[in-house]
Amino acid sequence: MKFFIDTADLAEIRALANSGLLDGVTTNPSLIAKSGRDFKEVIKEICAVVPGPVSAEVAGTEYDQIMAEANVLRKIADNVCIKVPLTPDGLRACRHLSDDGTLVNVTLCFSPAQALLAAKSKAAFISPFVGRLDDIGWDGMQLIADIVEIYENYGFRTEVLVASVRNPVHVIEAAKMGAHVATLPPSVLRMLFNHPLTDKGLAAFLADWAKTGQTII
Task: Quote the CA–CA distance of 165 and 131 in Å, as a whole number.
Answer: 6
- Contact call for residues 166 and 131 (beta carbons, < 8 A): yes
Is residue 197 included in any domain, yes or no? yes
Rg for the chain, CA atoms, rounded: 20
Is residue 104 included in any domain, yes or no? yes
> What mean pLDDT is reported for the chain?
96
Q: Kindly report, residue by residue over 95-114, the tens digit of the pLDDT.
A: 999 999 999 999 999 999 99
Alpha helices in 100-167 (DSSP H): 112-120, 130-135, 140-154
DSSP string for 39-78: HHHHHHHHHHH-SS-EEEE----SHHHHHHHHHHHTTT-T
pLDDT at 15: 93
Task: Quote the CA–CA distance of 87 and 100 in Å, as a whole number.
Answer: 20
Is residue 217 included in any domain, yes or no? no
- Residue 28's pLDDT band (boundaries 50, 70, 90)? confident
- Residue 35's pLDDT band (boundaries 50, 70, 90)? confident
Q: At what angle do helices 112-120 and 88-99 cross, to 10 degrees?
A: 30
Segment 165-180 mean pLDDT: 98
Strand partners, 25: 5, 54
Instruction: Evaluate if residue 2 carries a pLDDT over 90.
Output: yes
Q: Kindly report, residue by residue over 43-67, the tens digit of the pLDDT.
A: 999 999 999 999 999 999 999 999 9
* CATH number of the CATH domain containing 103: 3.20.20.70
Nearest in space to 1 (alpha carbons), one of 195, 142, 173: 173
Is residue 29 included in any domain, yes or no? yes
Greater model confidence, 36 or 123: 123
pLDDT at 29: 82
Is residue 163 included in any domain, yes or no? yes
- Residue 169's pLDDT band (boundaries 50, 70, 90)? very high
Task: Look up the domain containing 206 and give its range.
Answer: 2-212
Strands 54-57 and 125-128: unpaired
Give the other-Cβ count within 10 Å of 16's Cβ.
21
Residues involved in catalysis: 83
Is residue 120 included in any domain, yes or no? yes
Task: Quote the CA–CA distance of 126 and 36 in Å, as a whole number.
Answer: 28
The whole model's pTM is what?
A: 0.95
Strands 125-128 and 2-6: unpaired
Number of domains the chain contains: 1
Is residue 73 included in any domain, yes or no? yes
Give the other-Cβ count within 10 Å of 145's Cβ.
17
Q: Kindly report, residue by residue over 174-205, the tens digit of the pLDDT.
A: 999 999 999 999 999 999 999 999 999 999 99
Is residue 28 included in any domain, yes or no? yes
